[in-house]
A and B are shown apart, each in its own frame.
Chain A
Amino acid sequence: MRQLLTILSLIAAPAVPTAAQDFSDGSEASEWGLFGEQKARFEAAVVDPLCLLAGACDQECAPGRQLALERQADGVLVMPLKNRETVFSGAVADLAPYCGETVEVDGLLIENPEIGATNVYQVQRIRRLSEEEWTETNRFTEVWARENPSVAGEGPWFRRDPRVTAEIEEEGWLGLGPEAEDAFVRDWLGVE
């Protein structure tokens, strides 16, 4: 009977609203003061959402694809949007080395029903289940610097990125074209 109850509880589990679950136990994530942030530490498989959702598995976790986390406790697919760096960087560089593996992650879940934010995540640290040491998720800038040696130098990556600077040069800061936005930009900066 105990086994039966266990099975029944497992069947019932997916019906529990995921937003109500609390994964904060043991979390050492840094607070960012984000609306709807919840500390969350959990075990998950690092998956390729294109493969998982659409069956496009011929090049699972191919370079450049977004990656996701399938949580072990409830099977929920969590979308990591951000790593721990404060430089406009995603989490793929940090997750890619673990593709297909089960890991433990620690970070912030964002739950804000008003705008549909659910099961989106900022991953701050990661480790394999077999590992003691955590790895902080700050690989983006290291990978970017390796891939962009021609713009090595001072300043944050996003001010030096060749593709971004080319886009701004052509389309402007607001994306409306340099001429069209010139008056606004001068006014914004207080330049005559």
Chain B
Amino acid sequence: MTRCGDTKRIGAALAAMLSAGFAAGASAQDGERITVEGEIIDTWCYYSGVMGGPDAVVGSAHHTCALWCSAGGIPVGLLTPEGEVYMVLKLPGTDQLAGGDTALNLASHTVTAEGLAYERDGLRYILVETVVSDQDITNLNHEDYGVVPGFAIPDDAVEQ
């Protein structure tokens, strides 16, 4: 066998490995069943810092903005006390997470969720099958940060 032949054979084997690897990467994975507690957040404001630091763009301070972003179709996330964020792709009974009603109703709430978790390219994702408990809003950070953004509450919000 010639050196060229060896190269071709090795090349073919590597190509097959590569093809198999890409096929595996492209196919669906087995999710990991987890139970996780955290706050339903607006991922854009959290990750981009467009409205302020990560502690200010969660909780009661950011609730109105979280409603706007959820209704506007920005992906919602589940932020754990350890600072891990799961992109929520599904909630019980609905996969309409781009502006859907269920995510809107849970904005800023701390929940315990059970479902299938996935990880790819540095991001975590979760398909929530059950909201085990909904503790409503528990992070009362408006006491520290006021309202974020400041214009969230309009001047005519209360009668004078």
B and A form one assembly: yes
Residue ranges of A at the interface with B (Cβ–Cβ < 8 Å): 1, 3-4, 7-8, 10-11, 18-19, 32, 34-37, 49-56, 62-67, 75-79, 81-82, 87-93, 110, 112, 115-120, 122, 140, 157-159, 161, 163-164, 167-168, 173-176, 182, 184-186, 188-189, 191-192
5 nearest CB pairs, A to B: A64-B96, A55-B28, A90-B73, A175-B63, A118-B122
A189 and B74 contact, Cβ closer than 8 Å, known pairs A118-B121, A119-B122, A184-B142: no
A9-B96 Cα distance, complex, nearest whole Å: 40
Cα-based distance from A175 to B108 in the complex (angstroms) = 8
B157 contacts A by Cβ under 8 Å: yes
Q: Which of B18, B74, B85, B90 contacts A50 (CB 8 A)?
A: B90
Q: Are B153 and A189 in contact (CB under 8 A)?
A: yes
- Give per-residue flags for B33-71: 1 if the beta carbon is below 8 A from chain A beta carbons, else 0: 000000000011011111000100000110111011101
Q: How far is the CB of A47 from chain B (nearest CB, A)?
A: 10
Contacts of A56 in B (CB 8 A): 90, 95
Q: Which of B50, B98, B116, B122 contacts A32 (CB 8 A)?
A: B50
| A35-B48, A75-B25, A119-B121 known, 12 other contacts, Cβ within 8 Å | A7-B14, A11-B14, A11-B17, A11-B21, A19-B122, A82-B48, A88-B69, A88-B71, A90-B72, A112-B47, A119-B122, A189-B158
Q: Closest approach, in angstroms, between the C-beta of A176 and any C-beta of chain B?
A: 6
Q: How far is the CA of A55 from the CA of B26 in the complex (A)?
A: 10
> Please, which residues of chain A bring their CB within 8 A of the CB of B26?
52, 75
Expressed in whole angstroms, the Cα–Cα distance for A115 and B48 within the complex equals: 10
Kindly list chain B residues whose C-beta atoms are within 8 Å of the C-beta of A93: 73
Asked if B49 and A35 sit within 8 Å, CB to CB, the answer is yes
Contact B127 A50 (CB under 8 A): yes
Q: What B residues does A7 contact at CB under 8 A?
A: 11, 14-15, 18
Interface string of B136-160 (1 = CB under 8 A from A): 1100101000110000111101101
Q: In this assembly, does B83 line the interface, its C-beta being within 8 Å of a C-beta of chain A? A: yes
Q: Is the CB of A53 within 8 A of B125?
A: yes
| Cα(A65)–Cα(B87), bound, Å | 12
Complex Cα spacing A70 to B123, Å: 13
Contact A65 B96 (CB under 8 A): yes
Contact B87 A79 (CB under 8 A): yes
- Residue B92 at the A interface, CB < 8 A? no
Q: How far is the CB of A17 from chain B (nearest CB, A)?
A: 9
Nearest opposing residue in chain B for A172, CB measure: B63
| A116-B153 contact given A90-B98, A189-B158, CB 8 Å threshold | no
B89 interfacial by beta-carbon distance below 8 Å? yes
A92 contacts B49, C-beta separation under 8 Å: no
B132 at the interface (CB under 8 A from A): no
Scan residues 93-144 of chain B and give those whose CB is less than 8 A from a CB of chain A: 94-101, 104-105, 107-109, 116, 118, 120-123, 125, 127, 136-137, 140, 142
> What residues on A are CB-neighbors of B96 within 8 Å?
63-65
A82 touching B137, Cβ below 8 Å? no
Contact of A65 among B17, B46, B98, B107 (CB under 8 A): B98
**A92: which of B31, B64, B73, B95 is its contact (CB, 8 Å)?**
B73
- CB contacts (< 8 Å) of B123 on chain A: these are 77, 79, 116, 118-120
